[in-house]
Structure 1
Amino acid sequence: MVEMPFVKVDERARCPRDRPSPERGQDTCSRVMGIWTVLHALCTAFVKILFTMARRPRSSRAWHFVLSAARRDADARAVALAGTANWGYDSDGQHSDSDSDPESSALPPPIPSAVPVTGESFCDCDSQSEASLCGSLHVVHRGKDKDCRCGEEDEHFDWVWDDLNKSSATLLSCDNRKVNFHMEYSCGTAAIRGTKELGEGQHFWEIKMTSPVYGTDMMVGIGTSDVDLDKYHHTFCSLLGRDEDSWGLSYTGLLHHKGDKTSFSSRFGQGSIIGVHLDTWHGTLTFFKNRKCIGVAATKLQNKKFYPMVCSTAAKSSMKVIRSCASITSLQYLCCYRLRQLRPDSGDTLEGLPLPPGLKQVLHHKLGWVLSMSCGRRKPPAPSPKATATPGSPEPRHCQRKRCRRT
């Protein structure tokens, strides 16, 4: 083995790239300090958030709804500001089922309100009055869904909610008269229909809002058997009225049909009673709010069959059937309806009329819903230019794709 002689390398002969540089050491130190500063700021902010959440009061269920919805909307705003590249993906990284909807490829939709609607209740219960007057969100509608039974006088119902025709994110209670939507968290739109197909005759039912009303949409309406109730379970949208097979009244006061939106009434919230009258003889669909007529929503519905329907996108929301009646279109019905039109401001239509007590009792038992509802009418509203798309303009967005957020 030949031993190589030791050769001493002159430092000045080194490549300039291999020479130690004071400037390079200072740059590396600056980068490390910058990364450390950023990590320290993030950790400090995270500790502050945890401390704030630990001290946050938890005295109200409605306040819990508001906070969860506010966090969800804040995330949606962040996505909208950051761009639309990843808008179609849920929090787990998987693509949403709503990709089949061509409308979902447009720009991010406007952010819905996360604050529940107040002051639109049918009754003046103490809990409702307290919630309406109090300015703090911590006591909004405290205990109302447990205590208030106003307007729930009926004991016999022509139909209830159908346990076999509903979205997967629904749960029935109260003898299938109350439907609860999105028990844990909301990832889209849930819907349900009644057990009875409404054919010939007169049909009237009332839906009571038994939870805070907020979110993308909560709707009451009708639809045919062709409506797919579970189609938008991963999409936040106004399900009723998206096609020609359904009509839906939103809690925002907009009437939906064939994808068009029309300003129809004022908003409704927790405690509101929404009545629906389907007259297949005259072919009209009429809506009521707190037992006062708000207008005719549709005409020319003769020889068609519909189901009563509701839908919701809000987490832990609920609605309850408090009345469902049906009657044939007889001379007796037409007379009672005409009496109600002639005496719209009377609490008891038959009061003061020279009728036998037995006849009054029979009429109240069979057609009490006709004698108690307000019969003022207005013409079906025309589509609003602001709410509908004009020729050549992009179609209005009805759906909103968001990430699933736990409440």
Structure 2
Amino acid sequence: MLTARQEGVCTPGFCDCTFPNCIEVTNHKGLIPDLVKCRCGEDIEGNVRPWKWYPSEESDALISDRDIVFHPTFSQGTAIVRGDRPLKSGMVHFWEMRVITALAGTDVMFGIGTESVNLGQFKFHFVSALGTNAQSWGFSYSGKVQHCGEQLPYGPESSPRAV
């Protein structure tokens, strides 16, 4: 059920670990696992981590195992990554993402799309890309969901360290 979110309410952080700020991430020359030591919750019994990211030249993203850095040097548009396998029908699927830095810009979205999603379509445009058409569904850090270009309020705004 869609409900309006409360202004100023953000999701709580998952843990109390210290995370790098945007400047530290920007100035870091290595891979994210070298910079972020927190892996809280990842080794809880029963957790499964089969997801891998499909490497693509179309998207401005640096992929290292489970970690992704969007726009590793500078941003000139919207970057999208795709998982390496399709979801199986008849099953319930969910995933957890952890954002380690402050969220800013036109939008930061998590979502799902068909194989028809063009990963490079918005490489030089700043847009809320997931959910712009019938090929994908997006959940924005602002707490809105989007599909077929329609945005609706859904939940609280995301904050750094939230899962």
Tell me if TM exceeds 0.5: yes
Q: CA deviation at 1:146?
A: 1.9
Q: CA deviation at 1:204?
A: 2.3
Identify the residue that residue 30 of structure 2 maps to in structure 1. Answer: none
Structure number with the higher helix fraction is: 1
Separation (CA, whole Å) in 1 of partners of 2:147 and 2:48 = 31
Q: CA deviation at 1:179?
A: 1.0
Identify the residue that residue 219 of structure 1 maps to in structure 2. Answer: 109
Structure 1 residue ranges (4+ consecutive) displaced by more than 6 angstroms after TM superposition: none
Between structure 1 and structure 2, the one with the greater Rg is 1
Identify the residue that residue 55 of structure 2 maps to in structure 1. Answer: 163
Separation (CA, whole Å) in 1 of partners of 2:51 and 2:9 = 29
- The two structures have a TM-score, normalised by structure 1, of 0.32
Separation (CA, whole Å) in 2 of partners of 1:198 and 1:126 = 32
Structure with the bigger RCO (C-alpha within 8 Å, sep 6+) is 2
Separation (CA, whole Å) in 1 of partners of 2:130 and 2:115 = 13
3-state DSSP class of the match of 1:159?
coil
Going from structure 1 to structure 2, the CA distance change for 1:243 and 1:189 (only over 3 Å counts) comes to same
Q: Percent identity?
A: 33
**Aligned-pair RMSD on alpha carbons?**
2.8
In structure 1, stretches of 5+ residues that fail to align are 1-116, 132-137, 140-144, 274-407
Q: CA deviation at 1:126?
A: 5.3
Which runs of structure 2 are paired with 1:37-186 in the superposition (5 Å)? 120-125=11-16, 127=18, 146-153=36-43, 156-164=48-56, 167-173=58-64, 175=65, 177-186=66-75
- The two structures have a TM-score, normalised by structure 2, of 0.76
Identify the residue that residue 134 of structure 2 maps to in structure 1. Answer: 244
Count of aligned residue pairs for this structure pair: 142
Separation (CA, whole Å) in 1 of partners of 2:48 and 2:156 = 30
Identify the residue that residue 150 of structure 2 maps to in structure 1. Answer: 260
Going from structure 1 to structure 2, the CA distance change for 1:153 and 1:221 (only over 3 Å counts) comes to same
- Contact 2:59-2:119 within 8 A present in 1 as well: no
Identify the residue that residue 209 of structure 1 maps to in structure 2. Answer: 99
Separation (CA, whole Å) in 2 of partners of 1:185 and 1:118 = 29
In structure 2, stretches of 5+ residues that fail to align are 1-7, 25-34
1:168 maps to a residue whose letter is S
